[in-house]
Amino acid sequence: MTMPRTTLAQQIREHLTRASIGRSLSVGRPSYGIDDFRGDVFGGITAGVVSLPIALSYGILSGLGPAAGLYGAFATALISAIVGGARGVIAGPNVIVAMMMAVVVTDYASSLAEAATIGIMAGLIQLVFALLRLGRYVTYVPQSLISGFFTAFGILVIASQAFPALGVASGGVGLIDNLSALPAAIRELNDEALVLTLFCLLLGALWRGRLMALIPGAFAVLLCGTAIGAFWLDGAPVIDDIPGGFPGVDLSALSADFVVRAIEPAFMLALLSSITMLVVSLNMDVITGGQHQSNRIVFGLGLGNIIAALFGGLYCAVSSATFVNIFSGGRTVVAGATVAAFLLAVMVFMGPLVEQIPLAVLAGILLTTGWNLIDWRFIRRLHRIPASFSIVMVTTVILTVFTTLAAALVVGLVVAWLLNARRLEEIEMRSLASVPLLDATVLGRDEVGDADRFAARSGLVVLPDRVSMASARQIGRVLRADLSQHQAIIFEMSRVQFLDDSAAVMIGELIHIARSHGAKRVVIAGIPKDVERRFQSMAMLEDIPAEDLATDLDEAKQKVRQTLLRLP
């Protein structure tokens, strides 16, 4: 009897139900009761209130418009909640990804269809990340590099929002373009927009403590700023562009040439989105006591971004509303679905009201965000932290602000790797030991006889627990001189826990050098199984006789003893 075959749709439904929704409702708690539901709904509504000004602001910041921010926030919040992967994390517009999207719109895409294509490609890349199970490795980025990115994007956000704060058209995306256009903008400033921006900045700075617990600061600024703009400062420019429904994006006119050119920005979007999402998920694990599933998070985010891009939505990552949701009691799928429902209600029923929001109000919110995005804590400690961290951070800031994000990422990673390799070399070299072995410690008292009591015809090399390409070259240089002085050499490797291909080749070369300088015997002692397999895979043991392999140092000394007894 054969089992009935299930359709792909059934498999997907079963997978999501069993591995996502069920798990999100059960992780860390035995059941899901009315108190849990109340916390999710309250947390979701509160997070939705915060998500509204964020979505509008970041949509404008990206160059796609406020509606794109709402579409992206709705799609990613809903899909990421369904797929799951982390407790209480809300997907949505992110200032870093929004700034990257602004670069995409300016430098790579000449139409909404091309921008949407890059978003779809970035979502597909995130799906590939998840399917290849690369989610856990995405966060292996130095904190100094992340700090540099955050600081650089904070500077760029502040520079870009100076123009809507003055009530004039944007001067561009880059810092140089904005600074060049600033004098002309000052001459054309809108007095009411400037006053409204200053009011919003002041209100945001004063909205603390109990007021923050009553109403989230960004939403309070949005409400008060909009009210003042509507009743007193009605000369400030407003959004005035929220289309009804979900517009589709026509991708039929795209060419293969554009798809090839879009790979670089799509990869950068996918990488930045995944990094920011997973970094916040790690922090949320500490707060909620849960354990996020990196690959599931990246998969849900990629799927949500694909759907958002199909409707012209903003590419998203993790929303800052996540923290509001967590501290308001939101933990499960229900909280994310509540955020999506709130945003959907705003799009369907409140479009005319949203259109009356002054751009200066959103500029005030973004200026505060940009200021907070700068890693002031890291900057204040630049003179105290190791120079290598400071170099990576400052290099990343300069390259991100003045060149391209791709260049900043590549150069920043290379600089961080080189400086880290230098530190690893110092650590590994400290544990290296190369000492002569007196004949008296290898031979018996009767065997030494009347010979020189201080003769040392054999040498012992004790390798550290980690030998990598960082220290391979230096270890080889240090040991060359020692190896030429002995007639028998013992390589003691029992402590080695990690050895990469460069180190394996280096050890093979040292054995060859010892033999070429007259060593009668080279014994390898205590080689761990993993290291032995690495040697065998690289054919490094083929030239070493089986009798020159010892299980421990005592056996190695016995083998050297036999050699020394045969020497004149």
Helix (H, G, I), strand (E, B) or coil at 49: helix
Whether residue 146 contacts residue 279, with contact meaning beta carbons closer than 8 Å, is answered with yes
The pLDDT tens digits for 353-382 are: 888 899 999 999 989 988 988 989 888 888
CA 265 to chain CA centroid, Å, is 16
First to last CA, the chain: 81
Cα dihedral sign, 228-232-233-239: positive
Residues in the chain: 568
Residue by residue, DSSP assigns 12-51 as: HHHHHIIIIIHHHHHTTSS---HHHHHHHHHHHHHHHHHH
pLDDT value at residue 27: 41
Report the range of poorest mean pLDDT among 57-61, 227-231, 389-393, 541-545.
Answer: 541-545
Burial class (CB in 10 A: 0-12, 13-18, 19+), 498: middle
pLDDT at 444 over 90: no
pLDDT value at residue 2: 41
Helix (H, G, I), strand (E, B) or coil at 290: coil
pLDDT value at residue 447: 65
Segment (H or E) for 491 = strand 488-492
pLDDT at 23 over 50: no
Higher pLDDT: 322 or 12? It is: 322
Report the range of poorest mean pLDDT among 18-32, 186-200, 296-310.
Answer: 18-32
Q: Could you tell me the pTM of the whole model? A: 0.74
What is the phi/psi pair of residue 486, to 5°?
Answer: -125, 155
pLDDT at 72 over 70: yes
Give the CA distances from residue 21 to residues 69, 87, 313, in Å, rounded to whole numbers and listed in that order.
26, 11, 25
Whether residue 457 contacts residue 557, with contact meaning beta carbons closer than 8 Å, is answered with no
Higher pLDDT: 454 or 67? It is: 67
The pLDDT tens digits for 492-529 are: 888 888 888 878 888 888 888 888 877 788 888 888 88
The pLDDT tens digits for 415-443 are: 887 887 777 778 778 878 888 887 777 77
Percent with pLDDT over 70 in the chain = 90
The pLDDT tens digits for 249-293 are: 777 767 888 989 999 999 999 988 988 888 788 777 777 777 778
pLDDT value at residue 305: 95
d(C-alpha 534, C-alpha 527), whole Å: 11
Closest CA to 141 of 498, 420, 500, 466: 420
d(C-alpha 500, C-alpha 531), whole Å: 9
Cβ-based neighbour number of residue 368 at 10 Å: 21
d(C-alpha 37, C-alpha 43), whole Å: 10
d(C-alpha 465, C-alpha 463), whole Å: 7
Higher pLDDT: 339 or 138? It is: 339
Mean pLDDT of the chain: 82
The three-state DSSP-derived secondary structure of 433-486 is EEEEECHHHHCCHHHHCCCCCCCCCEEEEECCCEECHHHHHHHHHHHHHHHCCC
d(C-alpha 185, C-alpha 285), whole Å: 45
d(C-alpha 411, C-alpha 149), whole Å: 12
Whether residue 282 contacts residue 136, with contact meaning beta carbons closer than 8 Å, is answered with no
pLDDT value at residue 451: 59
